[in-house]
Amino acid sequence: MATPKPRIRLPKSVEAGVPFTVRTRITHPMHTGLRRDRDGELIPRRIVNRFTVRYNGEEAFSAALEPAVSTDPYIQFELSLPESGVLEFEWEDDDGSIYSLRREISVV
Amino acid sequence: MAPTRRDVMRLGGVAAAVALFPAVAVADSNGISQAIAAFTKGAMALEAGLSLEVPEIADNGGAVPVRVAAAGARRIALFTDGNPYPGVVVFEFGRFTPPAATIRIRLARSQSVIAVAELADGTFRKASRAVAVTVGGCA
């Protein structure tokens, strides 16, 4: 499996206290553990089971994912921030891997 | 034309079925009732104040967009009543996050998507939408 590649889209600068949209996606097969390969063998479950967003170290948003989430999990949510800071995004894989991104956001 | 005896019997059968199962809103073939009860810890969920947007017809069951929003929500969970497992996702919102989120989910066949929100005051809200799936996603 190719290494999952996380991506996020958010505005370069935002207004204080005005909600803005954050779009996130990570390339991942999200194997349910219920499907079989061509030889009839079960493909073991392997999903991204948790997605977390922190703002200046404080947890702002999280999602606990089950196998019913689509391949290449896409999650969109909103943030409303009081001041400039650092956003950290983290995806946790069943195999223990953690994929992360970090963005500085300027609030005007 | 006067109804035949057969017509009357048929109608009676339908009426009896409705009378016997009045409150069956969702089928429970995959344990969804238990999953929702685990999320709400058995509390009742009011069917109001929770917005759940799902397409009525999904051509591709492998990626169906679902948007949920509920004012004052701390957590919002999504369930399905026709996938092998009922749970889909649980969102948790902090003080910098308006309680709304969008995700793409798998639907193995036509079924209902159910959202349950836990508000900051500890009460629960619920909403349900039926989705017709043209090509099922391997959930």
Distance, CA of B26 to CA of A36 (rounded, Å): 29
ipTM over 0.90: yes
Q: Which residue is associated with the tokens 């009378």?
A: B19
Look at the pTM and tell me if it is higher than 0.80: yes
Task: Find out if CATH 2.60.40.10 is the number for domain A6-107.
Answer: yes
Distance, CA of A9 to CA of A26 (rounded, Å): 12
pLDDT of residue A1: 73
Q: For A61, name the nearest residue in chain B, comparing CA atoms only.
A: B93
Kindly report the nearest CA distance between residue B26 and chain A, in angstroms: 18
Q: Domains of chain A: which residue ranges? A: 6-107
Contact A61 B91 (CB under 8 A): yes
Kindly report the nearest CA distance between residue A108 and chain B, in angstroms: 16
pLDDT band, residue B118 (cuts 50/70/90):
very high
| Per-residue pLDDT reduced to its tens digit, B58-112 | 999 999 999 999 999 999 999 999 999 999 999 999 999 999 999 999 999 999 9
pLDDT of residue B11: 56
Higher pLDDT, B1 or A70: A70
Contact B62 A70 (CB under 8 A): yes
How far does Cα B4 stand from its chain's mean position? 39
How far does Cα B10 stand from its chain's mean position? 30
Which of B97, B113, B131 to probe the A interface (max A CBs under 10 A)?
Answer: B97
A with B: how many residue pairs have Cβ under 8 Å apart? Answer: 97
pLDDT band, residue B24 (cuts 50/70/90):
very low
Distance, CA of B114 to CA of B56 (rounded, Å): 14
